[in-house]
């Protein structure tokens, strides 16, 4: 059995919280904040893969809560391997709004791991 520090417990709690919130949404409730083609081309994927990522949360590793202009956004870090990952910035409401998405590579993942343990 693993012994988690307080920071790890908080991060695990945040992931469970966001997974619970995302369970309430269906494919029809997901909208894009920017041009859909731009976001999909930027992360080099299809719309179906984005829906699967957000609804199944299989590769969700880290959640960062952001407060901007009287709204709460979540940065969802999906890590697929040591070299590949994606970040989705989403806003929850009546619809799950994908504000932006971008890929993260090997060097960014190294920075992410440092950030994860510093915070």
The structural domains of the chain, with segments of one domain joined by +, span 6-118
Q: What would the pLDDT profile of 17-46 be if each residue is shown by its tens digit? A: 888 888 888 888 899 999 999 999 999 999
Contacts of 74 (CB under 8 A, 6+ apart): 18, 63, 64, 65, 66, 89, 90, 91, 92
Strands 71-79, 85-91: pairing kind: antiparallel
**0.95 exceeded by pTM:** no
Does the pLDDT value for residue 110 go beyond 80?
A: no
Strand partners, 80: none
Q: What would the pLDDT profile of 39-92 be if each residue is shown by its tens digit? A: 999 999 999 999 998 989 889 988 888 888 888 999 999 988 888 899 999 999
Does the pLDDT value for residue 118 go beyond 60?
A: no
Round to whole Å and give the CA distance between 101 and 59: 15
């Amino acid at each position: 059995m693993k012994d988690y520090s307080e920071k790890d417990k908080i991060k695990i709690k945040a992931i469970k919280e966001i997974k619970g919130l995302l369970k309430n949404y269906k494919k029809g409730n997901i909208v894009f904040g920017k041009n859909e083609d731009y976001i999909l081309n930027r992360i080099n994927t299809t719309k179906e893969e984005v829906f699967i990522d957000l609804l199944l949360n299989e590769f969700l590793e880290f959640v960062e809560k952001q407060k901007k202009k009287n709204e709460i956004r979540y940065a969802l870090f999906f890590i697929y391997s040591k070299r590949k990952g994606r970040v989705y910035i989403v806003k929850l409401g009546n619809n799950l709004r994908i504000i932006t998405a971008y890929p993260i590579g090997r060097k960014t993942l190294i920075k992410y791991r440092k950030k994860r343990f510093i915070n």
